[in-house]
Amino acid sequence: MRILVTSNMYPSDDSYFGIFVKRQVESLENIGIDIKKVAKTTENRCAYVPFVLKSTFFSLFNNCDLVHAHYGFHSALLPAIIKRKPLVITFHRGDALDEPFRNKLYCKLQKFVVSRADFLIAVSSEIKEALIEHLGSRSDKVSVITCGVDTRSFHPLEKKIERVALGIPENSKVVLFIGNLNHRKGVDLLLECAKRMQETYFILIGEGNIRAGTKNCRIVDPQPNHELTKWYNVADVFLLPSRSEGTPVVILEALSCGIPVVASKVGGIPDLIKDGETGYLIEPGDVDTLEERMRDLLQNPEKRRQMGLQARKNIIENYDSFKIAERIKQVYEKVLSNK
């Protein structure tokens, strides 16, 4: 089976720019699927020019069995217009939840590629509903398949050893956040909790203009992907108080490392966390409950331990990257068998 993957977000190095697409491609290759990639590997808008030219060429002249595009019309438009091969499109968040409402052109383009696709993959139940209700897809043409996580790379480590290595107080209570430091990710709520919880050590890894307002906050520049396992393992709790999300890879990674998660009940997050078993779900913007849930976990080490064990078990059983790759392979086989 030969697949042409097109994506307008794909990291050229160890960045997080479309890292979930890269990991999925690698998992598919590891189960024996031959993949040709046409990708935009930088956030520079000028990079769309070679990306569009390559997409046109490979959509016209390729010997692949099927095209798999990521992020709606940004990657799927040319394969949808040319349509020499069956087309599968994965929608990740904004392409289904935001862009159809941005302007009439974006809405028409998303509806067009949806109409031309042979099958759609949504990374969350919320996105599947949007594809059906707002973009005209039939329900039998959409499956929810979340991003996966490499459970062999993201695994529990000895907390004390990693804290010493990263210069973190060995006996402190540590809350970790990884993501863009902005309003959508709820960083303002995190900083408010930090002000209220002066005895807790907060680590924020990411880019943004927000600066720590209290001495118990440490802001760290974005880290290479292969270094993140160490950072997850210094934490007692992982926090993601976002106001809007798709399916956050960082939650999968934290849970795979056996770290309980406190996160907002938005996007695909409720699909990932079993409330009260592997972490806690809160209403977006509810800073009081956010603080309460974190204190509950930080003050109860045995509860944290049990939640962490259950979290990793659930990830291995349901979100391991190889199992996700097998599900996507089944989509390919289904589409090809109908041709």
Q: Once rounded to an integer, what is the mean pLDDT over residues 200-210?
A: 90
Are 202 and 217 a contacting pair, CB within 8 Å? yes
Q: Which of 207-221, 266-280, 307-321 has the lowest mean pLDDT?
A: 207-221
Map out the domains of the chain with their CATH numbers. Answer: 2-148+320-337 (3.40.50.2000), 159-318 (3.40.50.2000)
Question: Which residues are CB-neighbours of 121 under 8 A, at least 6 positions away?
Answer: 88, 89, 90, 91, 142, 143, 144, 145, 328, 331
Residue for token digits 């974005």?
A: 222
Pure H helices in 83-137: 94-97, 104-116, 125-133
Are 99 and 71 a contacting pair, CB within 8 Å? no
Residue for token digits 């799927």?
A: 76
Residue 213: which pLDDT band, with cuts at 50, 70 and 90?
low
What is the phi/psi pair of residue 126, to 5°? -60, -40
pLDDT tens per residue, range 95-108: 888 888 889 999 99
What is the phi/psi pair of residue 6, to 5°? -115, 135
The CA-CA-CA angle for residues 327, 38, 123, to 5°, reads 35
Question: From the CB of residue 186, how many other CB atoms can be counted at a distance below 10 Å?
Answer: 27
pLDDT at 245: 86
Residue for token digits 């001495």?
A: 215
Question: From the CB of residue 324, how many other CB atoms can be counted at a distance below 10 Å?
Answer: 21
Q: What is the mean pLDDT of the chain?
A: 93
Answer whether residue 305 shows pLDDT above 70.
Answer: yes
pLDDT at 208: 84
Answer whether residue 13 shows pLDDT above 80.
Answer: no
As a whole number of angstroms, the distance between CA 241 and CA 266 comes to: 9
Q: What is the DSSP letter of 12?
A: S
pTM over 0.85: yes
- Three-state secondary-structure class, residue 146: coil
Share of the chain above pLDDT 90, in %: 79
